[in-house]
Amino acid sequence: MLAALFVLLLLCTGSCAENSLINLGDIAYPGRCVIDMGASLALLRMGESIKLENLPCTMIFCMGEGYGLLRTCDHKPPPDDCQYADYIYWNEEYPKCCKRRISC
């Protein structure tokens, strides 16, 4: 019930986001969200989050029991005759990091 409330809250406040519920469980780490970072593992408890450094503006919020909410910026198209360029605030926290330059 608490996890469902967290999902509802995050979906309602993330107007510039795309959200996906993903299973990050691992029997070796019960109740945790386990993120393989290549050379290491990130072990998150319910309510903790991590920004994925190798992906632009992507965050995982641990919902508990191995389930995480993957949050990324929305994919709406740029204005007509324009295209998106680089991220303006790559190192900022989510959702500020979603802002991108537009080239027309």
**21-40 confidence digits (pLDDT tens):** 999 999 999 999 999 888 88
Per-residue pLDDT, 17: 62
The predicted pLDDT at position 3 comes to 45
Q: What's the pLDDT score for residue 93?
A: 80
Residue 102 sits at φ, ψ, to 5 deg, of -120, 130
String of DSSP letters for 10-27:
HHHH-TTEEEEEEE---T
Instruction: Quote the mean pLDDT of the chain.
Output: 82
Give Rg (Cα) of the chain: 15
Q: Are 18 and 10 in contact (CB under 8 A)?
A: no
Please check whether residue 64 is in contact with residue 71, taking contact to mean a CB–CB distance below 8 angstroms: no
63/45 Cα distance (integer angstroms): 8
Would you state the pLDDT for residue 21? 92
- Quote the pLDDT of residue 16: 52
Beta bridge partners of 32: none
The model carries a pTM of 0.69
Instruction: List the structure tokens of 95.
Output: 């959702």
